[in-house]
Amino acid sequence: MSKDVNNSKTGTLLEVKNIVKMFGDLAANDDVSLSIEHGEIHALLGENGAGKSTLVKIIYGSLQPTSGEIFWRGRRVDIPNPSAARDLGIGMVFQHFSLFESLSVVENIALALPGKFDLKALAKRIIEVSRDYGLPLEPSALIADLSVGQRQRIEIVRCLLQEPQLLIMDEPTAVLTPQESEQLFKTLNRLASEGCAILYISHRLDEIQQLCDEATILRHGRVVANVDPKAETAKSLARLMVGSEVMTVSARKAKQDSARVMVVSDVSAPAIGQFGVALKNINLEVHAGEIVSIAGVAGNGQGELFEVLSGERTEYVSGTITLNGEDVTSRNIIQRRALDAAFVPEERLGHGAVPEFSLSENIVLTRHSTNDGILVGGMLNSGVSETIQNRVSSDLDVRKGEADPQASSLSGGNLQKFVVGRELDRTPKLLIINQPTWGVDAGAAARIHQALLDLADAGSAVLVISQDLDEIYAISDRIAVISRGQLSPACPADEMSLEQIGLLMAGAHEKTPAQMEMQS
């Protein structure tokens, strides 16, 4: 795996000393030092905004330190850009994807590799490497047709094809299923056994304990601890990250016999694109005061279902969707928001928020039609959007370097808190949220979970789409499973075992073609 086979695969590979990175008056990294050995899987932990992403971007050459030194194999180096990092043997899988949606998998990967490639030969290599590492890809697939989980595989395989000596991974399992995560861990352990060092960022503390040899913990830009994660508990790691005990999510009981807020009856929609998933006879009810969660393996129609339920997609949709008793099947997302519905998509940067817009401008995007006073007589009242932005940032503890920064300047977890908080702030009658805690730390996840529970307690209906089964069990009153575009009946959470959910994920509830024909 190493680019330099003549060098020893033992000893210190990377050392950073006294790294400082200033953004104006904000010290994102404040005298940070760490070292990584060959073959070591080293965790980098901290709350959202603790400085983790800043540090790894410095190591990868995407940012330059204000002061401090970097040593590679004992030699002081400057890393002016990612190309220089890759030449050294440093690869990185970013939390936010850098893929061109109009291009295929093989074309995207070719763009990231040096030199010229025969696309057919590269496609064959992609198939071999992706299958070898348990992350199968179809080279001809268009990025626009792929789920977030499938896009994550591309980022990982693209990096592996560069044969790095140090592999940096920023929240790699945030959008992977448990099965995909287990396969990734096998891949990383294999790479480590071959001498590749791995710097691993994750908020899933159980996987840190399972996978990593050492953990460096940042808080407010400074190193506060270096520990053996296997000798710690998830609770003690979270305490070191946050500096105090993580809040406990309050238990609740769903309201019985409450009004039906959203009713989905026999809804079907054809697949869009060669690799899309068709929805088939979806039936679902979500009542006031309850949380219904939809589980499933990535790429089984979750994105398509969100588009249809939110009104992002109305063409070629059959069946009926009612909201508060009104038929909204043909109404778009703005019209559904006007009926007091709110929506949080899976992909926060680019879909949930415009990267180049400020936070207050991103407030306008989803709140201009909801009687918040943002638009008055066709004129924008920026003071109202700024007030909402400040309230959301305070309520969800969104950490930012300036009063009203661009969305792209926030860390992934802080942007997730903002996008979720923007919709929670309305106290809508219906909230549909896709992957609510993707990429957020334990404290932020608990805060979001509690906010969803509080929203349901206030009488709202909440529909959650999530791949995180721990999350689903923690907050749900009823659970349904989607598989290849078909949805199982939603059953009480306390009656659904992991084995049952696993069978449903594998398609135990799917109708045969003959059954589908009889229904049509």
111 CB contacts (<8 Å, ≥6 apart)? 100, 103
pLDDT at 507: 74
Which amino acid, one-letter code, is at 102?
Answer: S
pLDDT at 116: 78
pLDDT at 519: 38
pLDDT at 459: 94
Taking 60 as the threshold, does the pLDDT of residue 95 lie above it? yes
**pLDDT band, very low/low/confident/very high, at 213 (cuts 50, 70, 90):** very high
Of 371, 40, 2, the C-alpha closest to 162 is 2
CB atoms within 10 A of CB 254: 18
Distance CA 309, CA 322 (A): 10
User: What is the mean pLDDT of the segment spanning 502-514?
Assistant: 65
Return the DSSP state at 137. Answer: -
Of 46, 274, 310, the C-alpha closest to 140 is 274
Tens digit of each residue's pLDDT (9 = 90 or more) over 391-437: 999 998 898 878 999 999 988 888 999 999 999 999 999 999 999 98
Cβ contact 20:67 at 8 Å: yes
pLDDT at 286: 97
User: What is the mean pLDDT of the segment spanning 111-118?
Assistant: 81
CA distances, 158 to each of 130, 273, 379 (Å): 9, 23, 47
pLDDT at 181: 77
**pLDDT band, very low/low/confident/very high, at 364 (cuts 50, 70, 90):** very high
pLDDT at 3: 44
pLDDT at 256: 61
Across the chain, mean pLDDT equals 88
Of 271, 329, 343, the C-alpha closest to 300 is 271
**Buried-exposed string 483-506: b where 16+ CB fall within 10 A, e elsewhere:** bebbbbebeebeebeeeebbebbe
Least confident piece of the model among 31-40, 122-131, 148-157, 280-289:
148-157
Distance CA 72, CA 467 (A): 38
The answer to pTM > 0.85 is no
Domain ranges of the chain: 12-242, 260-519
pLDDT at 283: 97
Of 69, 39, 44, 40, the C-alpha closest to 56 is 44
Residue with tokens 């700024």: 386
Lookup: tokens for 399: 């950490």
Cβ contact 161:312 at 8 Å: no
Taking 50 as the threshold, does the pLDDT of residue 520 lie above it? no
**pLDDT band, very low/low/confident/very high, at 1 (cuts 50, 70, 90):** very low
238 exposure class (CB count in 10 Å sphere: 0-12, 13-18, 19+): buried
pLDDT at 176: 67
Cβ contact 469:454 at 8 Å: no
**pLDDT band, very low/low/confident/very high, at 354 (cuts 50, 70, 90):** very high
pLDDT at 299: 78
Give the CATH H-level superfamily of domain 12-242.
P-loop containing nucleotide triphosphate hydrolases (3.40.50.300)
pLDDT at 50: 87
Of 256, 276, 278, 241, the C-alpha closest to 444 is 241
Cβ contact 285:233 at 8 Å: no
Taking 80 as the threshold, does the pLDDT of residue 8 lie above it? no
pLDDT at 515: 40
**pLDDT band, very low/low/confident/very high, at 467 (cuts 50, 70, 90):** confident
| Range picked from 5-14, 481-490, 491-500 for highest mean pLDDT | 481-490
Instruction: Point out which residues pair with 15 in neighbouring strands.
Output: 35, 71
Domains 12-242 and 260-519 belong to one CATH topology: yes
Tens digit of each residue's pLDDT (9 = 90 or more) over 161-202: 888 999 999 888 766 666 677 878 888 998 999 899 999 998
Cβ contact 97:151 at 8 Å: yes
**Buried-exposed string 70-103: b where 16+ CB fall within 10 A, e elsewhere:** bebbeeeeebeebeebbebbbbbbbbbbebeeee
2 exposure class (CB count in 10 Å sphere: 0-12, 13-18, 19+): middle
pLDDT at 363: 95
User: What is the mean pLDDT of the segment spanning 110-128?
Assistant: 88
Q: What is the CATH number of domain 260-519?
A: 3.40.50.300
Taking 50 as the threshold, does the pLDDT of residue 279 lie above it? yes
User: What is the mean pLDDT of the segment spanning 506-511?
Assistant: 67
Lookup: tokens for 253: 């009981």
Calculated CA dihedral for residues 335, 338, 342, 346, nearest 10 degrees: 30
In this prediction, what percent of the chain has a pLDDT beyond 90?
A: 58
Taking 60 as the threshold, does the pLDDT of residue 488 lie above it? yes
In this prediction, what percent of the chain has a pLDDT beyond 70?
A: 91
pLDDT at 6: 39
